[in-house]
Structure 1
Amino acid sequence: MQTPLIDLKGIRKSYGGGDTPQVDVLRGIDLSIHAGEFVAIVGASGSGKSTLMNILGCLDRPTSGEYLFAGENVARLGSDELAWLRREAFGFVFQGYHLIASGSAQENVEMPAIYAGTPAAERHARAAALLDRLGLASRTGNRPHQLSGGQQQRVSIARALMNGGHIILADEPTGALDSHSGAEVMALLDELASQGHVVILITHDREVAARAKRIIEIRDGEIISDTADDHPEVQASANSGALQAVDLRQRLADGSEHNGAWKGELLDAVQAAWRVMWINRFRTALTLLGIVIGVASVVVMLAVGEGSKRQVMAQMGAFGSNIIYLSGYMPNPRTPPGIITLDDVAALAALPQVKRIMPVNGSEAGVRFGNVDHTSYVGGNDTNFPAIFNWPVVEGSYFTEADERGAAAVAVIGKKVRDKLLKDVANPIGQYILIENVPFQVVGVLAEKGASSGDQDSDDRIAIPYSAASIRLFGSHNPEYVAIATSDARKVKEAEQAIDQLMLRMHGGKRDFELTNNAAMIQAEARTQNTLSLMLGAIAAISLLVGGIGVMNIMLMTVRERTREIGIRMATGARQRDILRQFLTEAVMLSVVGGLAGIGVALIIGGILILSEVAVAFSLVAVLGAFACALVTGVVFGFMPARKAARLDPVTALTSE
């Protein structure tokens, strides 16, 4: 006699123990099954026959005893190796069909081949051929609810044969069928047995069991009769046409069990995830809402923050990022502020780091035109004003060197002064305004500039010749401050150091002056704006966190609803990492769809804000960052439910309601 394909020795299976009473379901089963046999295991409900089938099919492990498959001890195999054995050696036909409701007949049949790493074209062709052979060629695209009971059972038989089906384990295959469909299914099992498949039929119906060549009766967890004991020739004759047994030792020895099937499994996981999302559209939409709001909020908030920063930076940069301001300073509260003189200005102008220099003698002053009074900043400047401040004249012209030498009473006004005093005058050029009751003729209007900081509007100023300001208005020839344009905007710090050293020498080592520059102001403002943007982004990111919790909740619910599907996948050969990948893919799919939708919503909101003249600047880094956060959220919050699914016991999952 050859080595049995399946050899059970003293198999026991108990449940409970410890705080709960122990229940012995199998009590020392000894059983040998050879290749090519057609065996029926009969017994009443509760006799232990289904538990025996689960152990035979490597869905469950015995409490004690030895299970040899082709001479190798199955107890030594890990969970992935057991999954491989189920995939390569066994095919399950269940009373309840156990088809995945969201998949078509073709997809259900192909499932074992996906986990076996069979190329797509090959498994498509084999599944189609099996369904055609079983009379379901026209039903390949139908889902289980579109098939009759007999058709569903034939699909499950095709699935059992997908990877070869050396051993067909049929648990009450006709129990849920009418007599005609039941007869068809039994005829198929007879045909498979005649072709050399091992068929193990679990049933309580003795008429069905009579179709088998060997009948084993089990009662209260023990085998009470076996026809092979009286007719040993049944086992001997069964081997002649048997299919070649799975070489367990070769498979485990050469280490050929690897991740080669990952592409097919990943594609199947993506397709299955999309189907589940589509079937549960309303629930999916509610779950996506949290992610969409989170991503859109982050993108829009960061875009608004970036837009505001760029707007402020542009306004400040318009005054020149290479400008250094020199003014008097009080070394301590008991001393008067230092005085900057025109001699200082002349000395500084000779420095190679200085491109242009301009003294400014100015102050707030009362201005009048007709019966309209206004208070504005009046600054005495020279003709370097437009070049240093990058501030062109839009009406008229700037005053000339001759005006400066002659202390001419001419003025160039800012946009706000023009709107306040001369809004009803079509052409302000040539009009006279009173500055501290001194008449000045308007010769030009400056371009609108905006504010360089939050407390001063630069358009509310009047530029007059320095000489006129000193003689006609303020009575002092010393400047209020000095504006210095450096030769190289990238070397403002070096220029500042050179100016500082020269001023210290000229002032006898006394630091009674102060240097500031726009570059430092711009950098400080940029840091402030970045902090605000990050704060806005952090507040918006809370929405993403809420969305992630929603993903976790929905995935936990999905695992609970689809526990039986998990059991079916495990029975057809899925490893724990395959189940983990399946449900993690669904969580990631939710996050990807939600992230893309969130970006779309953010762009729409951004467009609306732009039309409303709100400063918005979308950053690719911010968009990709928000999307990446959504993706990470899906992975992090989807991992726990996915791991829970992967760790389910196959038998527990299959028998769940």
Structure 2
Amino acid sequence: MPDTPGAPDIPGAPDASGTFDAPDAPRSPDTPALIMLRGIRKRFGGRHGVPETEVLHGIDLDIRAGEYVAIMGASGSGKTTLMNLIGCLDRPSAGDYRFDGQPVARMDSDALARLRREVFGFVFQGYHLIGTATALDNVAMPARYAGVAERARHTRAATLLSRLGLGDRLQHLPRQLSGGQQQRVSIARALVNGGRVILADEPTGALDSASGAQVMDELDALHAAGHTVVLITHDAAVAARAQRVISMADGRIVGEERVAGRPADGHDFLTSTTTPAPDITRDRLPLWADLAEIFRSALQVMRINRLRTALTLLGIIIGVASVIVMLAVGRGSQEKVLAEMQVYGLRTIYVFRDWLPEGHQGRPLSLDDVKAVRRIPNVMQASPFIDQPGTVVRHGNRSFQTRISATTRDFAQALNWKVSEGVALDTVDEHDLRKVAVLGQTVRKALFGAHGKAVGEDILVGQVPYRVIGVLSPKPAPFPEDDVNSQVVVPLGSAIVRLVGRAELTRINVEIADMHHARETEAAVTRVLTARHGRKDFALLNQAQMVQQQADADRTLTLMLGLIAAISLVVGGIGVMNVMLMTVRERTGEIGIRMATGARQADIMRQFLVEAVLLTGLGGTAGVVIGVLLGLGLKAVGVPLIFSGVGTAVAFGCAVGTGVMFGFMPARQAARLDPVKALAGT
């Protein structure tokens, strides 16, 4: 991978083989300084009505590779501000800072992060360890941001901790360690990427004398091993351990003294020969390789804030479950309505002979019209009908006035009507002009009683004898006044010859295949018959279109229900954003630690954005499970319900999408924090 634009060649960084050069030995006074400051000034304030204050007043300082320098001064003298500038945690307001000859002012944020990650190692007075991470993970963090694989960085971190006497404390959290142990963890963290320049800010300030002496011994040993050590202190005894003491007061260097450095006490825990550095790619790990670490961190934060996490998840869960159940109920109700309508044979377009404006009845419908209609796309069947109302039928001493419906064998399919006894009309009945009849349930009861046998019996239709071959199943009527069970169905041919004496059709029942194209099919029937008749002298009743309109209305209602349920997803997303904003505020110090150890802005953004997605992903998964279980419970008590795989996937995707959308702003806010202010927890 190419180096970050504007990034310098960093001495001590890994070479092509992935190993570190040993820290440079002290150079002669004529050697160019590794760290060179000229006229460095730092001002704070000057915005939003806050008066500007200058903390550093034209600092000139050279530090050569391998030196052991102590910067000493009272509290408020500016020494910590100077260390932040040297460690690239902050930028000077004026002046020139060069690291190994490279102007730091020209480096972008990623290049500065690379310096913090691969050159500088920080040892803070307050330790600055992430409280939710183990000692091992705290130490391995800079290597993670340097692109080192998890196993390699953990091996490196474990080796360092063991050499510092913490081999049995790898999985301990900072609160489970003493102050001296925490400081040794921070030293190991400073060294995990090589730590060419160690910046120690009051490293003994929070320790007892014994622990402080041990930490100073370790810093002495690091210097003896070739590391450049810059020590910030107000304690003259601590400063005396260095080779050179820089005195500061009121933001200025007021003195410099060279002292005889105390020899190292034999510690050699970080020489390149004893502990080779890991292979650093100088680029971040791919997201898939970093997910495990991010997830562990996120889950730890969730465990700490259980109640808040649960309440946030609740909004997502309710939203996802509501969308799934609402869509399933809506779809189930829609299918139920359609199924019930199909019982009425409402997949049908009825064509009637009509009256013309001048008061004459239109041209009769014919069998040729039926044949023409059958050829129209989307038409499954076209059944001719001759209706003769007011016909009296008799059996024995019982009679009943009803409607005769003369048709073909296709009528049962067109009307979705089956027989409960006997058989329906067939082709032979039509061709042979047989005198057979199929009775509706009302006619059957009127002529044969509730339990009398009808099939095989003879009846008189008008004055013509017909044999009963079947009884139609009971059928609900689409309209209360239309008793469809009160009719006698006979073959069209025999009715024309024996009953009505003419072939003029009363209507044509057109069964369509796809109800979604009912309107187009109606228009096609109109065109064909108008062309045949020369004018539109017929009327159409498109019940299929009515059914489709009802289905569309149900679909719209379902969509509205889904959108209403989706509102809770938005509310849950806002809750996620609120929680993430609170998390950024609460974890400001952690963000500062990550930046100090080399995290780029993109790394911080990735951390918090993935945490938001994880939060909503968990909520979405729980919502899907709860939604399905709730739906199954409703289905068990008889609620019509059909789950939609697409709807479920969309609901889950929307939940995760809210994590991305509402987590972006908090993640960006976290990434844009100033490292120094973040470390201070402000």
Q: What TM-score, normalized to structure 2? A: 0.80
Does 2:534 match 1:504?
A: no
For residue 385 of structure 2, what is the aligned residue in structure 1? 359
For 2:375, give the aligned amino acid: Q
Larger mean CA deviation between 313-322 and 145-154 belongs to 313-322
Deviation string, structure 1 residues 5-60 (Cα, Å, up to 9, x no partner): 11111111111226332211111111111111111111111111111111111001
For 1:138-217, what aligned pairs fall within 5 Å after superposition?
138-217=168-247
In structure 2, the CA distance between the partners of 1:260 and 1:366, relative to structure 1 (3 Å rule), is farther
Distance in 2 separating the partners of 1:94 and 1:377:
101
Distance in 2 separating the partners of 1:208 and 1:293:
60
For 2:299, give the aligned amino acid: W
Does 2:63 match 1:24?
A: no
For 1:582, give the aligned amino acid: Q
In structure 2, the CA distance between the partners of 1:513 and 1:217, relative to structure 1 (3 Å rule), is same
Does 2:134 match 1:108?
A: no
For 2:440, give the aligned amino acid: V
Does 2:485 match 1:461?
A: yes
Does 2:597 match 1:572?
A: yes
Per-residue deviation at 1:72? 1.0
Per-residue deviation at 1:261? 5.2
Per-residue deviation at 1:257? 5.0
For 1:160, give the aligned amino acid: A
Distance in 2 separating the partners of 1:138 and 1:376:
98
For residue 581 of structure 1, what is the aligned residue in structure 2? 606
For residue 74 of structure 2, what is the aligned residue in structure 1? 44
Aligned-partner SS, 1:21: coil
In structure 2, the CA distance between the partners of 1:577 and 1:489, relative to structure 1 (3 Å rule), is closer
Distance in 1 separating the partners of 2:524 and 2:232:
98
RMSD after superposition: 4.4
For 1:464, give the aligned amino acid: V
For 1:584, give the aligned amino acid: L
Q: Which of 153, 156, 163 does residue 126 from structure 1 map onto?
A: 156
Does 2:414 match 1:388?
A: yes
Per-residue deviation at 1:283? 1.1
Larger mean CA deviation between 527-536 and 620-629 belongs to 527-536
Aligned-partner SS, 1:529: helix
Q: Which of 653, 677, 680 does residue 628 from structure 1 map onto?
A: 653
Q: Which of 306, 328, 348 does residue 353 from structure 2 map onto?
A: 328
For residue 514 of structure 1, what is the aligned residue in structure 2? 539
Per-residue deviation at 1:310? 2.9
Aligned residue pairs total: 624
Aligned-partner SS, 1:4: coil
For residue 34 of structure 2, what is the aligned residue in structure 1? 5
Distance in 2 separating the partners of 1:194 and 1:487:
90
Q: Which of 595, 606, 614 does residue 639 from structure 2 map onto?
A: 614
For 1:482, give the aligned amino acid: I
Q: Which of 341, 348, 354 does residue 370 from structure 2 map onto?
A: 348
Does 2:437 match 1:413?
A: no
For 1:2, give the aligned amino acid: T
Per-residue deviation at 1:387? 3.3
Structure 2 unaligned spans of 5+: 1-29, 273-280, 394-399
Per-residue deviation at 1:174? 1.3
Distance in 2 separating the partners of 1:651 and 1:15:
12
For 2:367, give the aligned amino acid: V
Question: Do the aligned residues in 1 keep the contact of 2:44 with 2:52 (CA within 8 Å)?
Answer: yes
Aligned-partner SS, 1:632: helix
For 2:317, give the aligned amino acid: V
Aligned-partner SS, 1:20: coil
Larger mean CA deviation between 397-406 and 272-281 belongs to 397-406
Distance in 2 separating the partners of 1:2 and 1:375:
123
In structure 2, the CA distance between the partners of 1:505 and 1:632, relative to structure 1 (3 Å rule), is closer
Per-residue deviation at 1:188? 1.1
For residue 252 of structure 1, what is the aligned residue in structure 2? none
Distance in 2 separating the partners of 1:599 and 1:364:
60
Distance in 1 separating the partners of 2:90 and 2:343:
76
Aligned-partner SS, 2:51: strand
Larger mean CA deviation between 269-278 and 3-12 belongs to 269-278
Per-residue deviation at 1:483? 1.3
For residue 597 of structure 1, what is the aligned residue in structure 2? 622
For residue 507 of structure 2, what is the aligned residue in structure 1? 481
For 2:152, give the aligned amino acid: E
For 2:663, give the aligned amino acid: G
Distance in 1 separating the partners of 2:238 and 2:402:
106
For residue 371 of structure 1, what is the aligned residue in structure 2? none
Aligned-partner SS, 2:193: coil
In structure 2, the CA distance between the partners of 1:208 and 1:635, relative to structure 1 (3 Å rule), is same
Question: Do the aligned residues in 1 keep the contact of 2:74 with 2:249 (CA within 8 Å)?
Answer: yes
For residue 98 of structure 1, what is the aligned residue in structure 2? 128
For 2:112, give the aligned amino acid: L
For 1:234-313, what aligned pairs fall within 5 Å after superposition?
258-260=283-285, 262-313=287-338
Per-residue deviation at 1:279? 2.4
Per-residue deviation at 1:317? 5.2
In structure 2, the CA distance between the partners of 1:8 and 1:528, relative to structure 1 (3 Å rule), is same
Aligned-partner SS, 1:67: strand
In structure 2, the CA distance between the partners of 1:175 and 1:364, relative to structure 1 (3 Å rule), is farther
Deviation string, structure 1 residues 334-382 (Cα, Å, up to 9, x no partner): 74664645xx235534776285523052779999xxxxxx999985655
In structure 2, the CA distance between the partners of 1:412 and 1:54, relative to structure 1 (3 Å rule), is same
For 1:4, give the aligned amino acid: A
Per-residue deviation at 1:521? 4.8
In structure 2, the CA distance between the partners of 1:119 and 1:448, relative to structure 1 (3 Å rule), is farther
For 1:169, give the aligned amino acid: L
Distance in 2 separating the partners of 1:308 and 1:442:
39
Per-residue deviation at 1:81? 0.5
Per-residue deviation at 1:110? 0.6
Deviation string, structure 1 residues 525-563 (Cα, Å, up to 9, x no partner): 443333222222211111111111111101000000000
Larger mean CA deviation between 393-402 and 70-79 belongs to 393-402
Question: Do the aligned residues in 2 keep the contact of 1:381 with 1:464 (CA within 8 Å)?
Answer: no
Does 2:676 match 1:647?
A: no
In structure 2, the CA distance between the partners of 1:93 and 1:382, relative to structure 1 (3 Å rule), is same
Per-residue deviation at 1:636? 0.7
Distance in 2 separating the partners of 1:429 and 1:538:
55
Distance in 2 separating the partners of 1:473 and 1:161:
108
Question: Do the aligned residues in 1 keep the contact of 2:88 with 2:112 (CA within 8 Å)?
Answer: yes
In structure 2, the CA distance between the partners of 1:392 and 1:68, relative to structure 1 (3 Å rule), is same
Aligned-partner SS, 2:180: helix
Distance in 1 separating the partners of 2:646 and 2:169:
49
Distance in 2 separating the partners of 1:50 and 1:275:
32
For residue 397 of structure 2, what is the aligned residue in structure 1? none
In structure 2, the CA distance between the partners of 1:481 and 1:609, relative to structure 1 (3 Å rule), is farther
Per-residue deviation at 1:447? 4.5
For 2:169, give the aligned amino acid: R
Q: Which has the higher helix share?
A: 1
Larger mean CA deviation between 536-545 and 72-81 belongs to 536-545
Deviation string, structure 1 residues 296-317 (Cα, Å, up to 9, x no partner): 1112222222223333444455
